[in-house]
Amino acid sequence: MKLFAQLLQNKKAMTGLVILTIIILVAIFAPLLTEYSPVKRVGRPHQAPSWDHWMGTTRLGHDVFSRLVHGARVSLAVGFGAGLLITLIGTVLGIIAGYKGGVVDEVINFFTNMVLVVPNLPLLLVLAAFIGQASPLVIAIILGLTSWAWGVRVTRSETLSIRQRDFVKSAEMLGEPGWRIMLFEIFPNLISIVGINFIGSVIFAVITEATLEFLGLGDPNTVSWGIMLYNAQNAAALAVGAWWDILAPCFALAFLGLGLALINFAIDEIANPRLRTGGMLNRWTRMVRLGEGKL
Amino acid sequence: MAFLLRRLAFYLAAFLVAATINFFLPRLMPGDPIQIMFASAGSELSLENLNALKLTFGFIDAPLHEQYFAYLQSVFTGDLGRSIKYFPLPVTELLGRALVWTVGLMGIATVIAFTLGSLLGVFAAWRRGRLIDSVISLTAIFSSSVPAVVVSLIMLFVFGYTLGWFPNGYAADPLIDPAWNWEYISSVLYHGTLPMLTLVFVLMGGFAVTMRNNMINLLGEDYIVMARAKGLSDNNVMLWYAARNALLPTVSSLAIAIGTVLGGSLVTEVVFNYPGLGNTLYQAIIARDYPVIQGQLLIMTAAMLISNFVVDLSYVLLDPRLKKA
């Protein structure tokens, strides 16, 4: 809770949280924000943005805005679902390896290093190619099962140092069982690392889902930002001048990525106070305002 | 020496894991693995050719472990099968051709991004809390959180289609014959600029953030204070005392980053229609050309392991303590 209170005082974290909240609200209230169905033909193909379709239409005559707000649901669900899975596996294995040591540590560490050097995206491409048209759920699961290695490495090294502290030693003397020490003595001290791992994994999952779908490995019937990019690219949207078709999901992905990255950066600063930039966003907003003044 | 030998053994094991995944994946899928792998072959392949291809991937009438060794044998003798779409072109040749373009594009982009990103990180840390730190940090956050596909598409839209400064695709003007003359080389450079700038932007942020954090953690050290007390110039202390030591962990992050580079480069190539590994792979995915898709995992793993080994070597050079171990 202390971490959360500190987050609320950090400007970067607040900006990130605001961005994230906007996207979450849009995703929840998607059907109320638009009168159009995201999967029905509601206009002529590739209409430019107008009062009726204020982000234009796709080549199939779908409303881009409707697809965008509905697609937010999939991006967020895959991001947070896969992020949770990645963090869960990474944290559990990391704490066990760091605390137990010995053979258990050797085995976990060996596999972790192994997974770290097999390039992730090419591996995912092979997996997704064999699965065929992967639904967002399948993508989230394979992301979760293949991307935990970094989390294990970081959690493990932090656990190794915490394990030597007095409070862990005294818990051991008192005869607390191993699982209790790991869960109630060590885990609470890892909370900022787990937080960074979680947000980082969410960013990674959002990016990778969009990439896999863009490359044609997703299920083309889903409404998601990656599939929007895939369809737009297939329709050669840029070449025929339908920039709205491609730029809408692009900016949505960039916006979500930026929001999450700001939160991550802020947690990093709270965990390691030396890293603080000192009113960075203050200066940024002042600079932007100065720019506006000149206009 | 022992350190490097241990790393080599580890890399061999890692490569084996990638090969094992390739072997078991089609066999774990529901349905007939031969059907899945060679469904797109249709009637184009003669029975004789199809049987040769099956043999390469270990589909023989024998127990599973013998199939496995048959597959490993083909992998370790450099036989990755043949492309189904471009039959009878061997996968190694198809990917080898593409690899040249990717290594060129990626290599240059990584070197520039690493140099530029690290320098920016050094300046940001040195002027911590000042305006330049704010600008660099915010740019770095943005660059490391936006998907490569988004950056590629926006760059293509702005500089390719709208401003028309750079071509929209291909590695060179298709009307010019490939040759070692200035006309062709300049065309290659001109076509490569936009994808390269995209990759530099995508990669730079991560390096800058890592370098900044390393630097800041070092700035309180005694030897920095000592260097200042000696009256050395600001730049001297920044570059030769702080940055030099902060570089060490950055180099190891470079090894992990190479995986990201491969991923980012894949997508960028697809967007810019660049004839590297990424685009070849994209075509293979569309055609469900499984031997090519599987071959790329092995080739990319090999590329990643080799670059990791190079990083290990440079680590020994940068950190004299490791020479003894």
Instruction: List the structure tokens of B263.
Output: 């991923």
Residue A177 DSSP class = -
Mutation target vs B (from A133, A143, A214, A227; most B CBs, 10 A cutoff): A214
Q: What is the pLDDT of residue B253?
A: 67
- Contacts A217 to B, Cβ<8 Å: 285
| Residue A192, domain CATH | 1.10.3720.10
Rounded Cα–Cα distance for residues B125 and A277 (Å): 9
Question: What is the value of pTM for the model shown?
Answer: 0.84
Reported as a pLDDT band with limits 50, 70 and 90, residue A32 is confident
CA of B305 vs chain A CAs: smallest distance (Å): 7
Nearest CA-CA distance, residue B118 and chain A, Å:
16
In a domain, A295, yes or no: no
Kindly state whether residue A159 falls inside one of the protein's structural domains.
yes
State chain A's mean pLDDT as an integer.
82
Residue A293 has pLDDT above 50, yes or no: no
Q: Percent of chain B scored above 90 by pLDDT? A: 1
SS3 A22: helix
pLDDT at B281 over 80: yes
- Mean local confidence (pLDDT), A175-185: 85
Q: Measured between CB atoms, which of B138, B160, B300 is closest to A122?
A: B300
Does position B264 have pLDDT exceeding 80, yes or no?
Answer: no
Among residues A236, A253, A202, A258, which one has the least CA distance to residue A68?
A253
Closest CA to A193 of A150, A143, A257, A141: A150
Rg (CA), chain A: 22
Query: Minimal Cα–Cα distance from B303 to chain A, Å?
Result: 9
State pLDDT tens for residues B65-88: 778 887 888 788 777 777 777 777
pLDDT, one tens digit per residue, over A90-133 is 999 999 998 888 899 889 988 888 887 787 788 888 888 888 77
Contact B17 A118 (CB under 8 A): yes
Rounded distance, CA B38 to CA A228, Å? 30
Neighbouring residues of A97: CB distance < 8 A, sequence distance ≥ 6: A104, A105, A108, A109, A112, A152, A156, A159
Task: Give residue A279's domain range.
Answer: 2-289
Q: Tell me which chain A residues have a C-beta less than 8 angstroms from the C-beta of B129.
A: 276-279
CB contact under 8 Å between A125 and B296, yes or no, is yes
pLDDT-above-90 percentage for chain A: 13
Q: Name the percent of chain B lying above pLDDT 70.
A: 87
Q: Chain B residues with CB inside 8 Å of A239's CB?
A: 161, 168
Show residues of chain B in contact with A277, CB under 8 Å.
128-129, 133-134, 137
Residue A167 is assigned to a structural domain of this protein:
yes
Indicate whether A211 belongs to any domain: yes
**Confidence (pLDDT) at A283:** 43
Check A258 against B285: CB less than 8 A apart.
Answer: no
Among candidates A118, A239, A257 on the partner chain, residue whose Cβ is nearest the Cβ of B147: A257
Tens of pLDDT, residue by residue over A157-167, are: 888 888 888 88
More confident residue, A52 or B272: B272
Confidence of residue A278 (pLDDT cuts 50, 70, 90): very low
Cα distance from A248 to chain B (closest Cα, Å)?
Answer: 10
What would the pLDDT profile of A127-160 be if each residue is shown by its tens digit? 888 887 788 898 899 888 888 888 898 888 888 8
Nearest-CA distance A186 → chain B (Å): 24
CA–CA separation, A211 vs A225, rounded Å?
Answer: 10
Q: How confident is the model at residue A84 (pLDDT cuts 50, 70, 90)?
A: very high
Give residue B94's pLDDT band: very low, low, confident or very high (50, 70, 90): confident
Hey, are the CB atoms on B129 and A229 less than 8 Å from each other? no
Q: Which of B128, B153, B219, B288 to mutate to test the interface with A (most CBs of A within 10 A)?
A: B153
| pLDDT of res. B167 | 77
CA dist., res. B315 & res. B210, Å (int): 17
* Domain tally, chain A: 1
Q: Cβ of B182: how many Cβ atoms within 10 Å?
A: 8
Contact map slice: B 96-115 vs A, CB within 8 A:
none
**Which B residues 179-208 touch A at CB under 8 Å?**
none
Q: What pLDDT score was predicted for residue A294?
A: 32
In a domain, A294, yes or no: no
Pick from A122, A262, A277: which is nearest to B297 by CB? A122
Most confident stretch, A52-61, B78-87, B191-200, B310-319: B191-200
Q: Is residue A66 part of a domain?
A: yes
Q: What's the N-to-C CA distance of chain A in angstroms?
A: 44
Instruction: Give the tokens for residue B96.
Output: 């080898």
Interface of B with A in 63-82 (CB under 8 A): none
Residue A18: what pLDDT? 92
Locus of tokens 């084996």: B16
